[in-house]
Structure 1
């Protein structure tokens, strides 16, 4: 395993982290007696495999159902000094409710302290305010930090880049969990801001949210050769020294194996990546045109500025992935989450275009004449059964 300094925490962080949202028994709290022995044994075997390969950062959240409780039956049996344990708790308008939930997390994990606490889901100006206002959630976390129960405090986010940058620029957080990978590089300004603040940078879900790369379309497989799409994406992310660790949501011990193939390639990234990046870019140009790729984001409104709350940028982005890389399954899953994702994945699908007039909202786009037809076409190609978020937090 290779390790990187996790910003001002000074922790030596493995370049892969063991995320805790896929090996747990349930997404809701259930009595321990209802957790199947087989599931608990798989979780423990997965954690021990993680440590065997040098991945000593174990990351979970109060919103991940039984994950914390199940980890609490494993982690106390392991050498504490060898572990970096992180959980996350969502901010609340009532700081006392946040404190109660945080204390429940610490109780679930059965550890004297955790290394990292993340304020989970600073996705909007409102949730940022809940965290940082006087007497807010961050003040509650600081009290437990003074007691030695928490070492470092950061935040996780699925929010727009400007909200992430605003949170970073408060100077109150030691690290950030955010989305950034090959198919979605919009948050690079946030990574740059975090680097300026000497914060740790943790990439959320590069394999799942980064394209369902465990089940890639053949076109993407061919474009990424000789690497698999998973290895390519890992190498792309880790070739940037500003990135410190990637979350691997392992559901079983073998899920680490493909990712570990990137380790001997890190020193060769400057040689290995360019031809793959060139092929991917050319495939996108061939499918979409160079002008569209350069300008498609210009002048697009956010969902709250759009009639029907339609998330035009996301829908056009999914269309790009569909056209360029045949990412049908991934695009369907993300598209059908629209309307059900709350502030974690905001906005609606384009299912009511005949009821609204988008002309004013998209007037600043150089492609205003094309966008309504693109939205309608994408809806026809991707519409299906509505998808719910896994986590309730």
Structure 2
């Protein structure tokens, strides 16, 4: 395993982390007595495999069902000083409730302290305000840090780039955040400015779900897999992300011990990154250009296209365009369909109205909304085509955060 300095925390972080979203027994909290013994046995084996290969960073969240409770049984079997344990607790308008939730998470984990505490889901102005206001959740976390219950404080975010930068800067008044969990991977590069903002403050940068939210790369489309040859898409994405020294670790939401194998294979090839990655990038860009007329699926999304809160009907036009390009350029229909039909059901975790309701918005309204885009004339037709291709049965979020 390779390690990187996790920003100003000075922790030596493995470049692959074990995230706790997929191996626990369900998405609702339950007593340990109700946990399926076979599920728990698999979770123990998965954590053991993680430690065996040098992945000593175990990351979870209060919202991940009974993950904390199960880890509270498993982690004491390993030397505490060799582990980097992270949990995440959602912000709350009531900072006393946030404090109670953090203390309860420590009790579930059966730990005296966590190495990393993330304020979970600073996704918009409201949730960020709950965290960074005077006497808010960040101030409470700093108090717990002084008491030795928390070593380092960060935040996780599914917000847009501007919202992430707002959260980073909002924390400065309290001494700043030590790290952040953020989405950034080959198919979704929008948040690079936020990563640079964090780097300027020497913050640790943890990439959320690069294999799942990064395109369901464990079950890639045939076309995408062929374009990534001679690498598996997971290997390509890992190397692409870790090519950036500003990025310190990639989350692997392992469901079973063998889920580490492809990531370990990528790490073995890390010295070959400059040889292996650029030719694959070129193939992917050419395939996208042949179908969509642009090099990358995001190329139509972030210039002159309003965010959902400024768009007609509250629709997330940039994301609809992005998902449609993923489908038509690289045949990533399954991934794109799942994300498309989550809109309207995920609140600030994945904002935007239900795409079926885009039919209520006229082409003239859409064209006026995107008039600053170089693709303004094409966009209404592309949005309609995207909804027709990918719209369908609504999707619900599994967890209270991720």
Looking at structure 1, the residues matched to 194 and 217 of structure 2 have their Cα atoms a distance apart, in angstroms, of: 24
Q: Aligned equivalents of 1:234 and 1:379: distance in 2?
A: 30
CA distance in 1, matches of 2:159, 2:344: 16
Provide the rounded CA distance (Å) in 1 between the counterparts of 2:296 and 2:280.
Answer: 21
Q: Would the aligned equivalents of 1:350 and 1:376 in 2 still touch at CA under 8 Å?
A: no
Residue in 2 aligned with 1:385?
393
**Structure 1 gaps, min length 5:** none
Other structure's SS at 1:13 match: strand
TM-score (norm 1): 0.97
Instruction: Tell whether the 8 Å contact from 2:301 to 2:317 is kept in structure 1 after alignment.
Output: no
Instruction: Measure how far apart 1:11 and its partner are.
Output: 0.2
Question: Residue 349 of structure 1 contacts residue 379 of structure 1 at CA under 8 Å; is this kept in 2?
Answer: no
Q: Match for residue 3 of structure 1?
A: 3
Q: Which residue of the partner structure matches residue 29 of structure 1?
A: 29
Asked if 2 retains the 8 angstrom alpha-carbon contact of 1:124 and 1:163, the reply is yes
Shift of 1:370: 1.9
C-alpha contact 2:57 2:84 (8 A) present in aligned 1: yes
How far 1:309 sits from its partner (Å)? Answer: 1.1
Deviation at 1:363, TM superposition (A): 2.3
Match of 1:353 among 322, 339, 358: 358
1:113-140 deviation line (CA, Å, top 9, x unaligned) = 1100000000111111110111111111
Q: 1:251 aligns with which of 252, 255, 276?
A: 255
5 Å-filtered alignment, 1:67-106, equals 67-106=67-106
- 1:81 partner SS: helix
Deviation of 1:354 after TM superposition, in Å, equals 3.7
CA distance in 1, matches of 2:368, 2:119: 37
Q: Offset of 1:365 from its aligned partner?
A: 2.2
Question: Hey, what does 2:381 align to over in structure 1?
Answer: 373
* Residue number among 195, 198, 202 corresponding to 1:194 in the alignment: 198
1:152-301 superposed matches below 5 A? 152-169=152-169, 170-171=171-172, 172-290=176-294, 294=299, 297-301=302-306
Unmatched tracts of structure 2, length 5 or more: none
Asked if structure 2 preserves the Cα contact closer than 8 Å seen for 1:311 and 1:349, the reply is no
Offset of residue 292 of structure 1: 9.0
Which whole-Å CA distance do the structure 2 matches of 1:174 and 1:87 have between them?
Answer: 14
The CA distance in 2 between the partners of 1:292 and 1:41, in whole Å, is 42
- Displacement after TM superposition at 1:32 (Å): 1.5
Quote the offset at 1:296 in angstroms. Answer: 5.1
Q: Distance in 2 between matches of 1:292 and 1:186?
A: 11
CA distance in 2, matches of 1:239, 1:51: 24
Query: Which shifted more, 365-374 or 160-169?
Result: 365-374
d(CA) in 2 for partners of 1:55 and 1:295? 38
Residue aligning to 2:15: 15
CA contact (8 A) 1:216 1:229 kept: yes
Q: Is the 8 A contact 2:5 2:12 kept in 1?
A: yes
Secondary structure class of the residue paired with 1:155: strand
> Residues 181, 34 of structure 1: CA spacing in aligned structure 2 closer, same or farther, 3 A cutoff?
same
Q: Output one character per residue of 1:233-257: Cα deviation in whole Å (capped at 9) or x when no partner.
A: 0000011111100000000111101
In 2 relative to 1, CA 378–52 (structure 1 residues): closer, same or farther, beyond 3 Å? same
- Hey, what does 2:347 align to over in structure 1? 342
Q: CA deviation at 1:167?
A: 1.8
Deviation, 1:333, is: 0.5
SS at match of 1:201: strand
SS in structure 2 opposite 1:152?
strand
Q: How far apart are 1:323 and its partner, in Å?
A: 1.3
4+ long deviations beyond 3 Å: 290-297
Q: Does the residue aligned with 1:351 lie in a helix, a strand or coil?
A: helix
On the 8 A contact 2:315/2:358 being kept in 1, the answer is no
Contact 1:309 1:348 in 2 (8 A): yes
The question of whether the paired residues in 2 share the 8 Å contact of 1:296 and 1:367 is answered with no
Query: Would you say the 8 A contact 1:99–1:141 is kept in 2?
Result: yes
SS across alignment from 1:73: helix
TM-score (normalizing by structure 2)? 0.95
User: Distance in 1 between the 2:85 and 2:295 partners?
Assistant: 46
Name the CA distance, whole Å, in 2 between partners of 1:232 and 1:291: 17
For the 8 Å contact 1:8–1:200, the answer to whether it is kept is yes
Equivalent residue number for residue 124 of structure 1: 124
